[in-house]
Amino acid sequence: MSILVDESTRVIVQGITGRDGSFHTQKMLEYGTKVVGGVTPGKGGQEVHGVPVFDSVREAVEATGANTSAIYVPAQFAKSALLEAADAPLRLVVCITEGIPTLDALTAYEALTANGIRLIGPNCPGITSPTKCKVGIMPGHIHKPGRVGVISRSGTLTYEIVSGLTEAGIGQSTCIGIGGDPIIGSRFTSLLPLFEADPETDAVVIVGEIGGQDEVVAAQYIKEKMTKKVVAFIAGLTAPPGKRMGHAGALVGGEDETAASKIEKLEAAGIPVARVPSEVPKLLLNGFGR
């Protein structure tokens, strides 16, 4: 089983005629994702990799029955694209675009949420349910179907963790890169319940980093609500104070936002924490067998 996306997911790509939108549309199609339409205002009637292009999200959804949108538009147009998606009958929006102003992201998040649409991102690699569907930019070949969920604030660390799981023979149910910006649509605590409820997910890996309180909040949630095994990795043990590391949200604003403090709180909640990514499979296998 999987969460959020599967074989029935029907995807439209906002920004499909751009460089990134076109490239990743092809990769999603090659993976087997049902990309049924694209949106670029003023370019309706064209095709990209055999996918029809429409002038608006609503037109695309009505013509194709899409339920999910992937957004690859430049940052200056992202707010408009997100608000347009919020006004369409979708259930999931995956925003890959980075560099979106915080206020724009907040406005879009509130509009999507008000209409019952889940947002993944922005500034994220997307979501993959191995062999079923991938929406975003994750490399498809690193995934293996199985029973471990992955939720990550990092992009490239998502790939490293997933690749390490696959090499260790540990398959994944669904892998989600939630993004590292201050304003994101889905956090650890909004996705953990979905994995807890999934009968075909046995364990979950959370990948965090410096900055913010998401991992601390997640630790308490896991301690109180999760019956399935959760292991973690927190990047940034050597990050210097006051230095932003990669993401806009990866900035230590206080002593409790450091990697060391987060690791301490996770372990105090009974959650095993890997010190390097290669330790994650070992922590998962401990107590489960191969």
Note if 141 is an active site residue.
no
CA atoms of 66 and 96, how far apart (whole Å): 18
CA atoms of 70 and 85, how far apart (whole Å): 10
- Token pair in block for residue 285: 């296998």
CA atoms of 279 and 170, how far apart (whole Å): 13
92 touches 68 (CB < 8 A): yes
In the chain, DSSP assigns E strands to 10-14, 34-39, 47-48, 51-54, 68-71, 92-95, 118-120, 126-129, 133-136, 145-152, 172-177, 203-209, 229-235, 273-274
CA atoms of 281 and 162, how far apart (whole Å): 10
Distance, CA of 273 to chain centre: 21
Which of 24, 49, 143, 247 does the annotation list as catalytic?
Answer: 247
CA atoms of 28 and 13, how far apart (whole Å): 10
* Stretch (H or E) spanning 113: helix 102-114
Q: Which pairing describes strands 273-274 and 203-209: parallel, antiparallel, or unpaired?
A: unpaired
CA atoms of 39 and 43, how far apart (whole Å): 8
Q: Is the dihedral angle over the CA atoms 279, 281, 287, 290 positive or is it negative?
A: negative
**1 DSSP assignment:** -
Q: Which residues participate in catalysis according to the annotation?
A: 247
